Amino acid sequence: MRILIRTSKWAIWARRLGSVAVPLVVISVLLHRLRLMTSDLFLVAAAVAGAMALLAVLVSMVALARLWQTGDRGWGKALWGLAFGLICLLPYAWYGALALRYPAVTDIATTDRGPMPLVFEPGTAAMPPPKLLSRSEMALVFPNVETRTYPLGLAQTFVLAHRLVDENGWDIKLERDPATGAAVGQINAQIVTLPGWREEVVIRVTGDLANSAVDMRSASLNALHDFGSNGQRIEAFLSALDDAVTTLLRDNPNANRPVEAEPESATDVEAPAE
């Protein structure tokens, strides 16, 4: 007599739900990064994908418990559903931890934002009002977000800042080079985060031939929370700029001295009339 062992329907549904959650997460992120999906739709898609992943985990747990009691088949399906669900929930857990660690802010700057306007692109003109931090909150959460001053000329500092922007792979949207005679150097560049959110940085360099000051702004476009990315970006960039300036001055002790006009040679000086 042949005994048939049935496959648990809970296990079947666990794997189905997990298999649906994975492409929902991946496709929604790809469409958002490629700008084929608006941010509003992305939030809805991300919520649906997260709910599907959570449901897959819950159904998998029920399936495993029932399999242990009944002896039915379907352990592999239940475990696959559990694995798919947990993998999909990892990004939600990560960003949830960041949301608990960092306050809900979308715009960070070292100084007044007036001289550092953003370059809006089509679709970003209707940005929600920025969420800002007070000066005391800024000092507590991002203590290194401060204006930098260097004993280095404006043009040289701008070159170092531009080099760091290129190394980071940021997409430059606006550039004002002080080498062309401008009294201020400025770079506006855009960054795309992993989930596809657009963020913009503004780097402003002021000074003269011997000294310079660097201010920076980083803001999220059409986002409700930056999860600390803007403040971390400014701190990392300015720290790298500190190192670059220090290295330049160490290797070139005369780099901070303004170039003086060479004196005329004796042959170029007209002889006095007799």
Residue 157, class by beta-carbon neighbours within 10 Å (0-12 exposed, 13-18 middle, 19+ buried)? Answer: buried
Strands, E assignment, the chain? 107-109, 148-150, 171-176, 185-192, 198-207, 212-221
The structure tokens 């800024």 sit at: 138
Q: pLDDT tens-digit profile of 135-145? A: 899 999 999 99
pTM above the 0.75 mark? yes
CA 67 to chain centre: 45
Q: pLDDT tens-digit profile of 234-258? A: 999 999 999 999 999 998 887 776 5
- Look at residue 258 in the predicted model and tell me its pLDDT: 58
7's CB contacts (< 8 A; 6+ apart) are 72, 73, 74, 77
The Cα 75–Cα 18 span in angstroms is 14
Q: pLDDT tens-digit profile of 160-200? A: 999 999 999 999 999 999 987 778 999 999 999 999 999 99
DSSP letter assigned to residue 38: -
- Look at residue 4 in the predicted model and tell me its pLDDT: 52
Q: How many residues appear in the chain?
A: 274
Q: Residue 204 is encoded by which pair of tokens?
A: 């402003």
- Look at residue 2 in the predicted model and tell me its pLDDT: 52
